[in-house]
Amino acid sequence: MRYDPLVLTNQAVAMQRIADYVRSGHVFWTSGEVPMVRAKALVYKFDRLYGIGRTRNQRATDRSHGVAGATLILYCPHTSDESPPTGKIRWVLLLSAGDNPAYAVEKLHDARDRATRLRWGDYELLQIARPGQLKPAWSWRLRQQAYDDFRHRIIQAIRHQNSFEYESVLDTLYRLPGFAGVRVQGKKLLHLYGVEWVRRFGERGHLQKRLRYVQRLKTQGTKLSILVKDIRYR
């Protein structure tokens, strides 16, 4: 396999890299999952047809000729090097404006349109206005259904005095990836938690931790060829 991409193993890193490419103009997207044993064939196809493995210099030449840039983000979590991932790899194909066969072959969406925002599990990528900035910035936030589920879970847990559940939901909130949009929602959910706690118990709750911030994350992953080899010989 000539092009041997990195399979990211940290969800926040994968989300950050996706946002990086969308921010750079790769706003057209499609996504899916592929079994580990078929991932190599998928990458070969996308490289042969769409040029996902083009070098930086080649991409610069392409842009000057009106050719769209294409990139593929691969993600598959695993807990240790001794236990390589199995199952499926999640992938996101991103393209910039221009000429590329992907526009005729793939069902591409525009991340800038509300109806076709790029979604990643419970999260969606969108442009959010920020104080002091003229242009909105790309960031992740919880999708509306996921946010509403959090609200319902908080209210039900505290009002029914389910100590295990309200500790669990609080722990989940503190572990949310700290992208700007997620943090705004997280603060609202923590406020709701505090209000419900006072209403039920008559005193302030135990909100001592702060929500996470996502700094620039180091790329964490494994070459696809290594993963495929590990699966083959397991």
The predicted-structure confidence for 206-225, as pLDDT tens digits, reads as follows: 676 788 888 999 998 999 99
pLDDT in tens, 9-34: 999 999 999 999 999 999 999 999 99
Query: Cβ contacts of residue 158 below 8 Å, gap of 6+?
Result: 166, 193, 196, 197, 200
Q: Identify which of 56, 57, 16, 28 has the alpha carbon closest to the alpha carbon of residue 182.
A: 16
Q: How far is CA 59 from CA 18, 26, 28, 95, 143, in A?
A: 18, 13, 17, 12, 33
What does the mean pLDDT of the chain come to?
A: 90
At 228, the pLDDT band (50, 70, 90 cuts) reads confident
Report the alpha-carbon distance of residue 145 to residue 122 in Å, rounded: 8
Residue with tokens 């890299």: 17
Name the pTM for this structure. Answer: 0.90
In this prediction, residue 78 carries a pLDDT of: 66
Residue 229, pLDDT score: 77
The candidate with the shortest Cα–Cα distance to 142, out of 91, 89, 188, 194, is 188
- Work out the pLDDT band at 80, boundaries 50, 70, 90: very low
Confidence check: pLDDT of 233 > 50: no
Q: Name which residue leads in pLDDT, 141 or 214.
A: 141
Q: What is the DSSP string of the chain?
A: -----EEE--HHHHHHHHHHHHHTT--EEEEEEEEGGGHHHHHHHHHHHH-TT--HHHHHHHHHTTBPPEEEEEE---SBTTB---SEEEEEEEE-SSB-THHHHS--EETTSGGG-EEETTEEEEEE--TT-SS-EEEEEE-HHHHHHHHHHHHHHHHTT-HHHHHHHHHHHHTS---HHHHHHHHHHHHHHHHHHHHHHSS-----S------PPPP-EEEHHHHHHHHHT-
Predicted confidence (pLDDT) at residue 67 exceeds the cutoff of 90: yes
CA–CA distances in Å: residue 35 to residues 75, 76, 89 = 12, 11, 6
55 falls in which pLDDT band (50, 70, 90)?
Answer: very high
